[in-house]
Structures are given as structure tokens and as C-alpha cells.
Amino acid sequence: MNELIDPFLEEHTCASFACLNELGNPYCFTCFYAINIQEGLLYFKSSFDTKHSGYLQTNPNVAGTILPDKLNKLQVKGIQLEGIILPFDDILTKNAATQYYKQHPMAVAVAGEIWTVKINKVKFTDTTLGFGKKIIWDRENYKQ
């Protein structure tokens, strides 16, 4: 993605996402994640019986945030992202479980499915680079 965004995503573990419920109202959930930087994919684990899982099957669009695992109140750092949940049979989800369990091996003992978010846009805020500094990445304009 980006030499400043990538290390941040790899270093941290928890994301919050918003999806839409059946009435079109926002619904939020928090999860541990693993990241595939090369493909721009984020993986999380959730059971089919959760509210958000039902909502995601109806409307796969998500927005999310990632903050540092340990907050420093003198430095503002964080990710805002937009993406789409990929179907479980999508070719890009092939290695999702392997990637997720590599980072979270204890999660194998918990019931649930590994979901894949195809990240389409990222805004990274990092005040250590200067006040109000934002790094923007989007899949459409990214060239490898």
C-alpha cells in the first residue's frame, strides 16, 4: 500500500467496523484482524450468528478505523478505511484462514469464519509527521 501505512497496519491488532443494518442504519463491531499488505486485504473472524454477519451478507460495504493498541495522547495516529467484504468463494479469500491464524493462533479454538475485507481506501493520520498530516491510499490509483 504505502511505506508509512503498511507498518502501522502490521503493528496493530484491533479494528472497529461499521456496516448497515436492515433499516440502513449504521451498526458497529470490533474485531481482531490480520493484514495482507501485498493484496490490500484485511481478515477477521466472526460467527454467522452475530448481527453484523447477517448485515454483511446483505450489504458487504464497510468502513472502519484502526487505532494503536497502546494510545499515546500526545500523538494522534490512526487509520480510517473503506472496503467491501468478499464472498467466501472469492479467489482472494483462498489463504484467509492461514494468514489470520498465523497472527492469532489461539483463535483456532474459537468457533467462527474468517472474513475478508478488500480495502479500497485508506486515510492514515500521523501527527508525528506534522500537525494534520494525512496519507491517502486508494486501490483505483495504486500502481504496483
Q: What is the mean pLDDT of each run of 10 residues along the chain (144 residues)?
A: 94 97 96 96 96 96 95 87 98 97 96 97 91 90 64
> Does residue 143 belong to any structural domain of this protein?
no
CA distance 43 to 45: 7
Q: Which long-range contacts (CB under 8 A, 24 or more apart) does 53-57 make?
A: 53/113, 53/115, 55/19, 55/20, 55/21, 55/22, 55/27, 56/19, 56/85, 56/115
Task: Give me the domain span that covers residue 112.
Answer: 5-138
Residue 124: the pLDDT is 96
Tell me the C-alpha to C-alpha distance, in Å, between residue 14 and each of 25, 29, 60, 114: 23, 11, 20, 15
> Does residue 144 belong to any structural domain of this protein?
no
Q: Which residues contact 46 (CB under 8 A, 6 or more apart)?
A: 29, 31, 52, 53, 112, 113, 115
CA distance 56 to 51: 9
Q: Which residues contact 55 (CB under 8 A, 6 or more apart)?
A: 19, 20, 21, 22, 27
Q: What is the CATH number of the domain that holds 23?
A: 2.30.110.10
How many domains is the chain partitioned into structurally? 1
Residue 73: the pLDDT is 77
> Does residue 105 belong to any structural domain of this protein?
yes
Whether the model pTM is above 0.75: yes
